[in-house]
Amino acid sequence: MTLTSLLYVLATTTTMATTVMASMAVTTPFVQPSGCTSAVELTTITTSVRGTPTTITVLASDAAAPGFSSCQPSGWNSGAKDDDLFTFSPAVCPQDWTYYEMSTSKQYSTAFCCASGFTFRAAGYALPTSALSPACGRPFSAGETTITAPLASRTDADATGIFTEGTIVHRAWHVTWEESDTATMSPSLPPLTSAKYLGVWEPGQAVLDGEFDHHNGDNSGVRGWSSVLYFAMIGVPLIGVTILAVGVGSGNVELTAK
């Protein structure tokens, strides 16, 4: 099985008003330029799973990789703080990503974005710093494929490890927009009212009148992660990366750091 995904980072603990002022517009779905290479590293963390200390292998992006900025949308780091990374307004999610926690206030609508196959705000995952939360994640099962990546703890620049199972993590985008912005944005976003909350929304998905209203109960369709994948992660913020699928016939994936 091959694996192709985009991994990004976003810290989103600012207020909505501050986010809008610090953000750049992305009114059509961002697609990473061709030629961008992988920039990831392997690390392990120890956390508690159902009361039992458990070590989990995590594949994270490498913020220090050369050429990283040229593979990101303009303005991805325009803010003064980690909290401002990957915040955009008016904006839509990147191509083929999923919208999470769509809601509106008196002034703005807001959503978080995760790459296809990743889940947002996994219950039980402890991220100890605002620079690492909220995050999107994907469980990576034994036998799925093999990934070679540099070790986060390496003293030798060429030291690598083999990733066969664990968790792949990326930071969500945070997008906001005003109702008047939607005329110039693509794809068309569902109309939101103060009573409506969409836990999960895919572009093109129809939203009927009254559907996902708060008074209808918890029908937002939020998906969660398995409790076996609890993790707490520290270190540098995760930044974008493409996992390049190679050796399609064998299903192997090798990540090459630049």
11 within some domain: yes
**Tell me: the pLDDT tens digits for 50-77?**
888 888 888 876 666 767 778 888 887 7
**Tell me: the pLDDT tens digits for 193-238?**
776 788 999 998 887 666 666 544 444 444 433 333 333 332 223 3
pLDDT at res. 111 = 95
Instruction: Give the chain's domain count.
Output: 1
Give 191 or 208, the one with higher predicted confidence.
Answer: 191
48, β-bridge pairs = 53
249 within some domain: no
pTM above 0.85, yes or no: no
Q: What are the angstrom distances between the C-alpha of 167 and each of 66, 87, 104, 119?
A: 24, 24, 31, 12
Cα–Cα–Cα angle for 82, 87, 134, rounded to 5 degrees? 65
86 within some domain: yes
What's the average model confidence in pLDDT over 226-252? 30
Can you tell me whether residue 200 is helix, strand or coil? strand
Structural domain that includes position 82? 6-242
What percent of the chain is modeled with pLDDT above 90? 18
235 within some domain: yes
248 within some domain: no
Conformation bin of residue 204: beta by default, left when phi > 0, alpha when psi is -120 to 50 = left
Indicate the residue type of 238.
L
Band of pLDDT at residue 89, cut at 50, 70 and 90: very high
88 within some domain: yes
253 within some domain: no
**Tell me: the pLDDT tens digits for 105-135?**
888 899 999 999 998 875 444 543 444 567 7
Given a cut of 90, whether residue 90 has pLDDT beyond it is yes
Q: What backbone phi and psi angles, to 5 degrees, belong to 184?
A: -110, 10
31 within some domain: yes
Indicate the residue type of 114.
C
